[in-house]
Amino acid sequence: MKCRKCGEKAVINMRQHKLALCKTHFLDWIPGQTQRFIEKYRMFGPQERVLVAVSGGKDSLSLWDILWRLGYQADGLYIGLGIDGGLNYSSESQRLTQIFAEQRDLKLHIVNVLENYGETIPEMAQRTTRGKGKPCSVCGLTKRHIMNRIAREGAYDVLVTGHNLDDEAAVLFGNTLNWIPGYLVRQGPVLEANRPGLVRKAKPLCRIYEREMAAYALMRGIEYIYDECPYAEGSKSIYYKELLNKLEADRPGAKLSFYLSFLQAKKNGLFAQAADPDIELLHTCPTCGQPTSAPGECAFCRMTVKIVE
């Protein structure tokens, strides 16, 4: 197979775009596409300060690399979750993230959950009903809280995450299977900061396939944590991704079409804002100042045991 742009040997074929590219043209194409989506969905401008949530995985490190190559003012935020799982999962992902930042002379914020809140994620999960069985819900809540906090404290204009198209399609699939209107209303490339205490969020990779992001990381020589989070095994999102990939094998472009059709349907008014029961009822947490769906302390503040310095 030959590169469509130069005729050299292709290293990747993107069946959904009917596009095969060589290494050089693929490494140009990905930042070009990312820039296109940043502009199309009005995510942020060249003068704005961007905070990239980085996990040490292929997507977030690649996103940071792309934004750096595109010339954006992008700092990183790594959250140390204290997950070991016999792999030193958190310490290894932090090490790789720090190496990445040092190589490019980029600013990296590190927030260690244990040092800040007195417990690791698995410990919090063991103590609380929210974490019964699996710590993923506790982990998600904690990461959302810390990302928003650091973005506010640092006066960043936007917080970006490395969610790729497969992530978005899997979430959409789950929310559609269960018809969860609140989540469907909120899903999109940009989540506006439409309440006090909230920071604008964006997903610049939302239209790029996970396979292409892995290829980008490999071709750029980005060393990322290859092992999966030990708690992700058997997760619904991975199961949904596998199902969608079976569909994609028979119908190239099915995942992209599913997501884009959803965005179009939303734009056409298929999902009313009133379908999101939380949107009008947000309160401000008296402890942390972040929005919460019920009066009083938010779920994160109620969950955490803070260390008094």
Partner 1 sequence: MTVKLVLRGKEYELKPGMTLRQSLFKIDLQPEAVLATRDGELITEDEILQDGEVIKLVAVISGG
Residue of the chain from 36, 126, 176, 232 that contacts partner 1 (CB under 8 A) = 232
Kindly state whether residue 307 participates in binding partner 1, applying the rule CB under 8 A.
Answer: no
For partner 1, give the closer residue by CB, 23 or 130: 23
Kindly state whether residue 257 participates in binding partner 1, applying the rule CB under 8 A.
Answer: no
Alpha-carbon span 59 to 205, nearest angstrom: 8
Residue of the chain from 39, 102, 126, 249 that contacts partner 1 (CB under 8 A) = 249
Give residues 137-166 in contact with partner 1 (rule: CB under 8 A): 139, 166
Alpha-carbon span 131 to 124, nearest angstrom: 7
Kindly state whether residue 18 participates in binding partner 1, applying the rule CB under 8 A.
Answer: no
- Nearest distance from C-beta of residue 101 to partner 1, angstroms: 21
Give residues 22-61 in contact with partner 1 (rule: CB under 8 A): 23, 57-59
| CB of 199 closer than 8 Å to CB of 205 | no
Measured CA distances, 187 to 180, 271, 273 (Å): 11, 11, 12
For partner 1, give the closer residue by CB, 23 or 144: 23
Measured CA distances, 41 to 83, 160, 256 (Å): 35, 13, 16
- Nearest distance from C-beta of residue 106 to partner 1, angstroms: 22
- Binding mask 190-209 toward partner 1 (x if CB under 8 A, else -) reads -------------------x
Which residues contact partner 1 by CB under 8 A? 1, 10-13, 20, 23, 57-59, 136, 139, 166-167, 170, 209-211, 213-215, 218-219, 226, 228-229, 231-232, 235, 237-238, 241-242, 245-246, 248-249
